[in-house]
């Protein structure tokens, strides 16, 4: 890659990283382009040069974060493990990200998933692709006899995605523990309990009592 192209990509990456921090702290409506420029240590005009209006910065953040999530799901989909284990791996990844980068999860669930100002992402195509990958996991589970043949993989993918999203929302917004900051230990406990929920027959066939004790 030419030096100039590499430098451009690095600057864009630095600006996006700064934007994630600022929007997670201040919220979308309170964030100004100048705040992002200051955090990134670049000129105000450079942010506009690369991204244009503030809405485009948020769209770029959206694409960047969800593309990472999509890439991880594709790797999980390729694993030679059960449908239930793949679903548990996805929820583990999201909760591990909450521990490592709470700003990223806060941004996803508060400022992006529920946003109405992302106009240049027609039908939120990347989210559709992610739902489609999760649907593929459920379809695979049906084909391998892990799920009842009459299961609806499309519906199950929305139920699963909604459960994980609401769990992340509760943990990152204070709904889970009102008035208290959720600790890493609590998140790890939720991670374990969510695994039990996934494995307990909520999406597939119920495991044995011994298997449930192992998960607990």
Here the CATH number for the domain that contains residue 105 is 1.10.357.10
Structure tokens at 68: 């990472």
Same domain, 48 and 59: no
* Percent helix, strand and coil across the chain, each to the nearest 5: 75, 0, 25
Q: Which pLDDT value is given to residue 152?
A: 93
Same domain, 14 and 83: no
Same domain, 63 and 35: no
Same domain, 155 and 184: yes
Residues 70 and 124: beta-carbon distance below 8 Å? no
Residues 98 and 158: beta-carbon distance below 8 Å? no
pLDDT exceeds cutoff 70 at 214: no
Same domain, 85 and 155: yes
Report the distance separating Cα 165 and Cα 58, nearest Å: 19
Same domain, 191 and 204: yes
Q: Which pLDDT value is given to residue 148?
A: 86
Report the distance separating Cα 85 and Cα 80, nearest Å: 10
pLDDT exceeds cutoff 80 at 98: yes
Same domain, 48 and 86: no
Report the distance separating Cα 108 and Cα 66, nearest Å: 9
Domain boundary among the residues 36, 52, 68 is at 52
Structure tokens at 149: 């043949």
Q: Which pLDDT value is given to residue 111?
A: 62
- Tens digit of pLDDT for each residue in 155-169? 999 999 988 988 998
- Tens digit of pLDDT for each residue in 11-38? 888 999 999 889 888 887 888 999 999 9
Residues 123 and 117: beta-carbon distance below 8 Å? no
Structure tokens at 161: 């995605």
Q: For residue 36, what is the domain's CATH number? A: 1.10.10.60
Report the distance separating Cα 51 and Cα 45, nearest Å: 10
Domain boundary among the residues 10, 36, 52 is at 52
Domain that holds residue 30: 1-52
Q: What is the largest distance, in Å, between two alpha-carbon atoms of the chain?
A: 61
Same domain, 119 and 36: no
Report the distance separating Cα 204 and Cα 136, nearest Å: 14
Residue with more model confidence, 65 or 138: 138
Same domain, 122 and 182: yes
Same domain, 92 and 78: yes
- Contacts of residue 141, Cβ cutoff 8 Å, sequence gap at least 6: 82, 83, 84, 147, 151, 153, 203, 204
Same domain, 61 and 43: no
- Tens digit of pLDDT for each residue in 167-213? 998 888 888 888 788 888 888 888 888 888 887 766 655 555 565 45
Same domain, 112 and 69: yes
Task: Tell me 123's DSSP state.
Answer: G
Domain boundary among the residues 19, 37, 52 is at 52
Q: Say how many domains are in the chain.
A: 2
């Amino acid at each position: 890659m030419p030096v100039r192209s590499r430098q451009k990509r690095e600057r864009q990456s630095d600006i996006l990283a700064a934007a994630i921090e600022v929007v997670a702290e201040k919220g979308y409506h309170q964030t100004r382009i100048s705040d992002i420029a200051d955090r990134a240590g670049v000129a105000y005009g450079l942010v506009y040069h690369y991204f244009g209006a503030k809405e485009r910065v948020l769209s770029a953040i959206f694409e960047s974060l969800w593309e990472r999530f999509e890439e991880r799901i594709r790797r999980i989909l390729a694993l030679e493990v059960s449908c239930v284990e793949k679903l548990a791996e996805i929820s583990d990844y999201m909760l591990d990200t909450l521990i490592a980068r709470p700003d990223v999860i806060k941004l996803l669930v508060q400022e992006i998933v529920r946003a109405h100002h992302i106009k240049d992402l027609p039908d939120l195509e990347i989210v559709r692709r992610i739902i489609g990958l999760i649907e593929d996991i459920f379809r695979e589970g049906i084909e391998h006899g892990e799920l009842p043949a009459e299961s609806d993989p499309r519906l199950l993918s929305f139920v699963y995605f909604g459960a994980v999203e609401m769990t992340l929302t509760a943990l990152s917004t204070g709904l889970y523990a009102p008035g208290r900051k959720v600790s890493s230990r609590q998140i790890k406990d939720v991670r374990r309990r969510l695994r039990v929920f996934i494995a307990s027959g909520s999406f597939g066939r119920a495991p044995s009592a011994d298997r449930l004790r192992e998960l607990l």
